[in-house]
Each structure stands twice: as C-alpha cells, then as structure tokens.
Structure 1
Amino acid sequence: MDWNTFFEPIALSIQISIAASIAVFFFALAAAWRMARARFAGKSLVETLLLLPLVLPPTVVGLILLAALGRRSWIGQAYESLFGGPIIFTWGAAAIAAVVVAFPLAYRAMKTGFESVDGDLEDSARAMGATEWQVFRYISVPLAGRALTSAYILGFCRGLGEFGATLMIAGSIPGKTQTIPTAIYVAADGGSMTMAWAWSGAMLMLSFLMLLLSNRIVRERD
C-alpha cells in the first residue's frame, strides 16, 4: 500500500471538514438564533429553504451549485476575474459543497437548542438592562451549549462524509479535491477493494472518534 496515496484523501477531508464546520457553525448560529426568536411573515418559507439541502439528493445540490458557481455564472465569472481561475474543481469548491450539505443539520440542532432556553430568563435580563448581545452571549449560548456542541460535531461529520455534491463541483482530483468518500468510489470502481476498505475503515474511525468526543463534551457540560 502506498501510504502517501492512502493519507492524502484523509488529510484533505479533515482540512475541508474543519473549514466547512467552522463556517457552518457561525452561519447556522446566526440563522438559528434569528429564526428561533423572530416572528415575521414568510418565516415558514424561509425555514423550508434553509432545510431544503437536507432532503434533496446530494447530486441535485451539486448540480445547483455547479449552475451557481460554474464558469458561465456571474459568480464564477467574477471569481475567475479576481483570482485568475475557476472556483469549480478546487479545494474551495469541495469546502463549499460541505458547507451547503452540513448547514441544515447544524441549523436544526441549534434552533432546537435555542427554543429550549427559557424565554423568561432572557426577558428578565433585558429588564435589568442587558443588551441583546449580552443576553445572547451570557444566557442563550451557555444554556443552549449542548445543542451547539452537537451541531458543530454534526457539521464536521456531515462535511467529512459528503460525496455527491463534492463530486459534482470539485471532482476527485488526487491531492487536490479527492476526499475520502470520492477516493472510496474511485477505488471501488477501479477494482482496488483493499484501498476502498482501508479508506472506509479510516472514515469509520474518524466518525466514531468525533461522536465519542461529542458525547464526552456533553457529559462534562452536564
């Protein structure tokens, strides 16, 4: 077994998942806080759009991203004029795919956490002169901490296992965009079952360790 070939997709997947989960955490945090507290017309429609990638096949999500970020789109053309190359079939495209598919999971977990916080505590803090930022930072976030932790872990694991959308807009370029799932697909399709099973084992181990870490953090918070 070529160890460099084996570890390249693993390292790349971890890098993409870390970047994607950090972005997802802050995007989902802002969206979940707003949706859990706000009341406005069309809220149900907005929430449906936020959760849509959760139920769409990843290949459909990838096709939408390809249309939005491809060289013929205005976003793709603007990116290419600024950076001298297309955004698709790059490391960044793989990270974007991971962000889009992981966001709904993190958002739903965070929104549930914020909705479980007693609103009377927040209202009491406001009545005592606390600003919205202070209420958010010192009351809402700590009380919803378990949900936020779970959301981050879910985002990381979902990004780590993303396949369909990644393959559509980033491909499977060794050393550049080939993640563990796409490497497994290419290896199995080419008959290299030893490599496919080795990468599958690595994926299983990484996911297990992340979930184990999540459970430990939650217990410590309790």
Structure 2
Amino acid sequence: MTDASIQTEHRVKGVDHAAFPTFDPAATVRFYRDTLKFPVVHSICAAGWGPDDHPDFIHFFFDIGSGDRIAFFYYFGHEPVGNPDARGDAWARLPEGTPEFFANSRHLAIHVDSEEDLLEYRRRLDESRWPCEMQVMHETIESIYTHDPNGYMIEITRALRPVTPQEDLDAELTIDALCDVAAGPEPSLDKLLTRKAELIVERAARWEAGRPVPTPTEAVTE
C-alpha cells in the first residue's frame, strides 16, 4: 500500500454519539428510555467544565443500537432558549447571546478504532483550514474537536476501554436521581448526588432484604 493510499483510506467506523441540550431531562428519559426502550448506558456528572463560568451539568447517553448512542446535556440553573411550546424550529435556532458552551453541546461525534486513527484525523485537520481545536481525555474516551465550515462542532473519538455493566448501573441510578431533582425547585449537581446516594441506600436495603429492585417505571408508581 502506498503512502498516498494510506492517507486517503477511509477509517471512520460510524457515529459514536450525537449530542443535544435538553431543558426537560425527565421527559427526555421518558421518551427515549421508557417509550422507545433505548437503555441508558452512560452518564457523566461534571462540576463545571473548562472556563470558570461554565455551569455544572450532566451528560447522559442512550443506546440506539449497533454501538451507536444519542446523548443529552442538562445544564443546572439554565432556562430554555427560545419558545418551548413551538416544537422543532424554535428550539433549533440559538439566539444571539447564547452561551458558547450551550451551542457546542450540540455536536456530532464520530468513532474510530485506535489511537493511530485518531492521530491520523488530527493530522488531516491540522493540515486543513479547520485545525484541531482541542484534544481531551475523558472518562472512557479520547477525543479531538473542531468546527466544520457551518460552525457545527465535530468530535472524533476512540474508546479507551469498554464501559462496564457496573457503570451502566451507575448511569441508571444517576438518571433516576436527575429525574427526581429536575422536577423540584432549583435543581443542582449537589442535589443530584445527594438523591443518588439516597437511591443507592434504598436499593441496597432491598437487595439485603431479598426484595426485587423496582424498574424505573415501577419506581415512579410506587
């Protein structure tokens, strides 16, 4: 294989996840997890991110099949942008003055298999008009980022290790706690973590007593 053919070889393996902001995480969970039956497979609780003025947030993921995921960001303390009663178009437009972190939360992440492939795409970007803007090691992935010619953030990512079943369970607990906290006054990351600890204690007591742990739908109706 020549050097030229290596450089033009198609190495992308499909979509890792597509990410969007949400102002109603409980409804989002009800639609994707409870209605469409897409399981929650990962979540990240972040106390700020980068700049000092970045809000606390939770980033959570649903399995949409074939290793693909759709993900959402919920930012604590931020009200909806646009008119939440106008479905679609009003939500799609971000008015002038929208925080940069919010605009960048809507991005496409593309999966590659190896560090070699990730660095190859960084090389291609760095030699183009759209160089890599940052390279970040997350909890379970390493990613490079840039903006495409339309201004959309694009992420290329590789897995550092498999996500474990224990982490899937942790994500389920996190999302159940988020739904509880987001329905109350002044939701915050501290309140979410407190509620999550309460759910862990409740479920541990059920396990010790030999009682079945309720499914998310059953927990709502108890």
TM-score under structure 1 normalisation? 0.31
TM-score under structure 2 normalisation? 0.31
| Greater RCO (CA < 8 Å, at least 6 residues apart) | 1
More helix by share: 1
More strand by share: 2
